[in-house]
Amino acid sequence: VENRIKPLESKKTHEQITEEVKKIIKENNVEIIVSYLPVGSDKVTEFWAQICLDTNTAFVNCIPSFIASDEKWAKKFKEKNIPVIGDDIKGQVGATIVHRTLAKLCSDRGTKIEKTYQINVGGNTDFLNMKEQDRLASKRISKTESVQSQLKERLADDQIYVGPSDFIPFLGNTKLMFMRIEGRQWANIPYNMEVRLEVDDKANSAGIVIDAIRLAKIALDRGVGGPIIPASAYLMKHPLEQMSDVQAKQDCEKFVEGK
């Protein structure tokens, strides 16, 4: 990335790497694999998803390479009765969870949202990696759909922008979000709102993934396989089934209670 990180070609074959990974998983009694691979690592994500299927290991996919929300992969995990939670983790108080909550509030209160944007900047390696535009297709789909799913009327593609915008080195692990919603309320009167959010990117993600791991373990212990819908809807931006955060939280609590 920007001539700073050079890919290294492995001298091992794909088969050798696969067997080595399976051996390590077996020797260490690994139950859950969590993926925080760089955005855009679609082929490698599929590699680890297949490893989980081959080793009966639960998979928590925190990036926007679609596994739990892909019908083909979801079916594979369901058939082998292996839990999968994903895709693309929400922050504890992150840009997308704030954006979709406010968008739903405006929609639920009877206003008409006409356009909206969300711009994110940061200084860690995640944002550095996302300077490569060809890595961002699934990320933009994930974040945009997370917001669109909360609206009564979907916005046209050219009236919504949700996505990473730039890498600012001195920000380090600080992430900044700038959000704007424009619309019309009673009597066709225009309104708008703007939000600036500043968070620690690591802690924001860690507070959610710890619950994803706990829920994956509950599913393992109960012999529940396939996409864990309540966990994915509550903790991830791009689940197999979108729902409101209130409903997802309630369903998660029922899942924990075994209802």
Q: Residue 75 above 60 pLDDT?
A: yes
Rounded average pLDDT over 208-220: 99
Domains of the chain: 14-90+204-257 (3.40.50.720), 95-201 (3.30.360.10)
Q: Could you read off the pLDDT of 83-92 as tens digits, one per residue?
A: 999 999 999 9
112-122 sheet: strands from edge to edge: 160-167, 112-122, 174-184, 190-200
Length of the chain in terms of residues written = 259
Which residues make beta-bridge pairs with 226? 83
- 225 within 8 A of 76, measured Cβ to Cβ: no
- 229 within 8 A of 239, measured Cβ to Cβ: yes
Q: Give the model's pLDDT for residue 193.
A: 98
pLDDT, mean over the chain: 95
Q: Residue 71 above 70 pLDDT?
A: yes
The pTM (predicted TM-score) of the whole model is 0.92
- CB burial of 87-100 (b: ≥16 within 10 Å; e: otherwise) equals bbbbbbebbbbbbb
Instruction: List phi, psi (to 5°) of 196.
Output: -120, 125
